[in-house]
Amino acid sequence: MNDAARLLDDPRLATVFAVLATTGAETRVIGGAVRDALCGLPPHEIDLATTALPDAVMRAAAAAGVKAAPTGIEHGTVTLIVAGAPYEVTTLREDVETDGRYAKVRFGGDFEQDARRRDFTVNALSLSPDGQLHDYVGGLEDLAARRIRFIGDAATRIREDYLRVLRFFRFNASLGSGDFDREGLSQSILARAQLSRLSRERVRAELLKLLIARRAPEVMRAMSQAGVIEVILGMGNPARLERLAEFEAAQGKKPDAILRLAAFAVLTVEDAERLRDRLRLSNDEAARLAAAARAMEALQGIEIPPPVSHLREMLFLCGARTARDALALAFAASGATPADSRWREAADYLENTSAPVFPLKGKDLIARGLTPGKNLGATLNALQKAWIRAGFPRDPAVLQALVDGATGPGDERFDP
């Protein structure tokens, strides 16, 4: 049994094959699931290609009592839901017309022709329900060599969909090894200006996947040298990304796409706003970049981590996520090494320490005779700053002294 055939051990997939067999059509597992299984990786999703038309797939599913959703029926895709797991089933297609962004297709019945219209050789493998592997374009040899190669003429494949330029780099980052395929790299560079024609959502999705890939720092540097980053982001700092990746590894942390994007392309809050627009970032993603940039302003140029008092203040003022992001970015901008225990200790402190909570509220000051309004807010802000300078005390006597200092002496006592 080949490694890909282990996919067939899944009884849910067996159900999908059984449903589609009632159409009399041929069906195979296609693309990424086969590729990943051969690499010993768990598949993210299992897609199938079939010679059955979409309407026939829908009828077969209904007859078998299997839920079916026409998720992309205009392009021949029906999603079958078996035991809660989705399986995309797509009728074999032929491209009729492409413009680098969208394609008009017609349904076909030839698995080899369908394979030859795909992007890379390693993505054109297919698996029959009897366990037989099908390789029409040399994908198995390229996969063994960890080589990412366009099918046929690279320039033609790229003109069909310019997103393939970014996918070329992403698959080199996740699966590739050694030098890039020369023709693929050359044609990707020649087509780089066309990336500006793509929807920003598609670019964002591809870039965030690339940023967490195994060779992301190395490949992002190559993309900078090739002029690709200039088109999609405007600027980039490969060295900061490389150092952040070292910091993540030293802490045993998984790659974080948004934090890596910050290391690579964010120096100021304005950079965060620019990326929000260029990549159509979500509100949370853009806010995270901006917050990290603001927090970094106080850490510019440091070569050793801030003292615990400063770290605690960062936790209070910025929140845990932003404080951790800022520290990681400060390391990436410094000349320190991942072996420097001071940075690891600072990171551990932020990871394991809860943010201080200011124990005083406006009602506590009103109880001392202050009236609600602008003065109350100003006094509370001054009191909070004094509390921070005092080291975030919790002792009632110390808190009372801070209140006295901010409001003047009084008969009422503060009861935390």
Which residues span the domain enclosing 377?
A: 362-407
Residue 171 and residue 264 in one domain: no
Share of the chain above pLDDT 90, in %: 77
Residue 104 and residue 45 in one domain: yes
Q: What is the rounded CA–CA span in Å between residue 150 and residue 168?
A: 8
332 CB contacts (<8 Å, ≥6 apart)? 240, 241, 243, 244, 247, 263
Residue 49 and residue 89 in one domain: yes
Q: Is residue 51 part of a domain?
A: yes
Summarize pLDDT for 4-38 with one digit per residue, the tens.
889 999 999 999 999 999 999 999 999 899 999 99
Residue 21 and residue 123 in one domain: yes
12 CB contacts (<8 Å, ≥6 apart)? 82, 83, 85, 87
- Mean pLDDT computed over 288-309: 95
Residue 181 and residue 311 in one domain: no
Is the pLDDT at 104 greater than 80? The verdict is no
Q: Is residue 44 part of a domain?
A: yes
- Which string of DSSP letters, residue by residue, matches 310-376? HHHHHHHHH-HHHHHHHHHHHHHHSS--TT-HHHHHHHHHHHH-PPP-----HHHHHTTTPPSSHHH
Backbone angles phi, psi at 358, to 5 degrees: -65, 120
Domain boundary among 145, 163, 183: 145
Q: Is residue 413 part of a domain?
A: no
What was the pLDDT predicted at 103?
A: 59
Backbone angles phi, psi at 94, to 5 degrees: -130, 135
Residue 207 and residue 249 in one domain: no
Summarize pLDDT for 176-211 with one digit per residue, the tens.
999 999 999 999 999 999 999 999 999 999 999 999
Q: Is residue 7 part of a domain?
A: yes
H or E element at residue 238: helix 238-251
CATH code of the domain containing 173: 1.10.3090.10
Adjacent-strand bridge partners of 100? 161
Residue 217 and residue 136 in one domain: no
Residue 167 and residue 62 in one domain: no
Residue 17 and residue 125 in one domain: yes
Residue 248 and residue 221 in one domain: no
Contact (CB, 8 A) for 206 and 166? yes
Residue 199 and residue 173 in one domain: yes
Q: What is the rounded CA–CA span in Å between residue 269 and residue 294?
A: 6
Tell me which of 120 and 109 has the higher pLDDT.
120
Q: Model-level pTM?
A: 0.88
Domain boundary among 232, 252, 271: 232
Summarize pLDDT for 70-94 with one digit per residue, the tens.
998 888 999 999 999 999 999 998 7
- Mean pLDDT computed over 227-241: 96
Domain boundary among 145, 178, 211: 145
Q: Is residue 416 part of a domain?
A: no
For 107, the 3-state DSSP assignment is strand
Q: Is residue 415 part of a domain?
A: no
Q: What total of structural domains would you count in the chain?
A: 4
Residue 271 and residue 401 in one domain: no
Q: Is residue 293 part of a domain?
A: yes
Q: Is residue 33 part of a domain?
A: yes
CATH code of the domain containing 129: 3.30.460.10
Share of the chain above pLDDT 70, in %: 95
Q: What is the rounded CA–CA span in Å between residue 230 and residue 222?
A: 12
